Amino acid sequence: MIPVTKPFLPPQEDYNEYLQGIWQRNWLTNMGPLATRLENDLKKYLKVSHLLFVTNGTVALQMAIKVLELSGEIITTPFSFVATTSSIVWEGCTPVFVDIDPKTLCIDAEKIEAAITEKTSAILATHVYGNPCDVEFIETIAKKHNLKVIYDAAHAFGVEVNGKSIFEYGDISTCSLHSTKLYHSVEGGLIITTELDLLKKLALVRNFGISGFDSFAELGLNGKNSEFHAAMGLVNLNYVHDIFDKRRRLTERYDCKLSGLKSYKPEWHSKANLNYAYYPIVLESEELLLKMKGDLDKQEIFTRRYFYPSLASSLPYLPSLELPFTEDISKRILCLPLYYDLTLDEVDWISGLLLEIQNS
């Protein structure tokens, strides 16, 4: 069986070493020494000035919307994981969907301005598959209309634009460290901002808004993460180089073996590095996609329609809106298996089957 993804697990001894310390200290959660160390190590690794380790990527988005005091409408992309949209609704705001650029699969920045109304408070865009949005253009629009910018950078761990971490663009960026992501802490999330005032507020919000033994400074929630999760993050950080390297080799192998496939991959931001988070292909038709997916399922090779369906036309709590490029692409895009334990032979096998199906 070949799953579409499989969490990376480090050697168990590496993790066990951290457990001893946790037992000795008897400090299990609430901004413990391992969580603090993970934040410091990640700041250095990612070259960002401020960062918070939180419960997960979804809570990170909710906290970002809350501390920026957003209300009314938030312009966003319908081509993302459901948490991007649901966080907006959860925080009492209205998502306004703007279609994607069919080449990059990120929000079409050129179409944002037309969607702005007097109720718009922010833009919440996703770096889809880790491919950066047109961050410079979005910044220009945001400045002109006095809007806040949040990036759902759940897929973008390790990506830099012009040599600067993608996490430092926008007012706040969020990342997910969920097990299925390329670098993970089992469950976990990151919030990154370059503004110290926002960071301080986020840190309070993460801990119920508690500012001292007997005082409350903010409306807060429980956005903390545990020492056990931090330990997994610390161990996995030692392997992140190997993870990128293996994913790069698998990706290049797919690229080579699938050169005869009538499909395309998202056009990557010209000034960004790849992080090999996913291997998406846009096929010629939904019919061909279903045939390929069905035939691979029979061989127990699991692919995933990611992202499908469009968030603008499928959520029961929102009016349905069909945006042409998102509808079209979401029906034709398929993510192929990509994970650390996958072998080059397996990539060859999967690629061979796809070509056979196309040519049959």
310 is written with which tokens? 């469009």
State in angstroms the smallest separation of the CB of 178 from ligand PLP: 4
- Asked whether the beta carbons of 106 and 133 are under 8 A apart, the reply is yes
Q: Of 17-25, 62-70, 90-98, 149-157, which part binds ligand PLP (CB under 6 A)?
A: 149-157
28: closest CA among 178, 209, 231?
231
Q: Residue count at the site for ligand PLP (CB under 6 A)?
A: 14
CB of 57 or CB of 78, closer to ligand PLP? 57
The residues, any chain, with a CB within 8 Å of residue 334's CB and separated by 6 or more, are 280, 281, 283, 289, 292, 293, 303, 304, 305, 306
Contact 255, 338 (CB under 8 A): no
Q: How far is the CB of 175 from ligand PLP (least distance, A)?
A: 8
Q: What is the dihedral of CA 43, 44, 48, 51, to 10 degrees?
A: 10
**Residue 189 near ligand PLP by CB under 6 A:** yes
Minimum separation from the CB atom of position 167 to ligand PLP (A): 14
Q: Which residue is nearest to ligand PLP (CB)?
A: 57
Q: Which of 258/272 has CB closer to ligand PLP? A: 272
Of 79 and 354, nearer to ligand PLP (C-beta) is 79
Question: Of 54-62, 91-99, 249-257, 335-343, which part binds ligand PLP (CB under 6 A)?
Answer: 54-62
Among 178, 291, 304, 305, binds ligand PLP (CB under 6 A): 178
Distance of alpha carbon 40 from its chain centroid, rounded? 21
**What x-and-dash track marks residues 152-171 binding ligand PLP by CB under 6 A?**
x-xx----------------
Shortest CB 122 distance to ligand PLP, Å:
16
Rg (CA), the chain: 21
User: In the window 69-98, what residues touch ligand PLP (CB under 6 A)?
Assistant: 80-81, 83-84
Measure the CA angle with vertex 45, ends 43 and 47; round to 5°.
60
What sign has the CA pseudo-torsion 279, 47, 136, 150?
positive
Nearest in space to 130 (alpha carbons), one of 55, 67, 80, 197: 80
> Considering the complex, what minimum distance in angstroms separates the CB of residue 253 from ligand PLP?
24
DSSP code per residue over 28-47: -SSS-HHHHHHHHHHHHHHT
Nearer to ligand PLP, 78 or 253 (CB): 78
User: Contact region for ligand PLP (CB under 6 A) — 26-34, 52-60, 228-236, 241-249?
Assistant: 52-60
Q: Which residues bind ligand PLP (CB under 6 A)?
A: 56-58, 80-81, 83-84, 126, 152, 154-155, 176, 178, 189
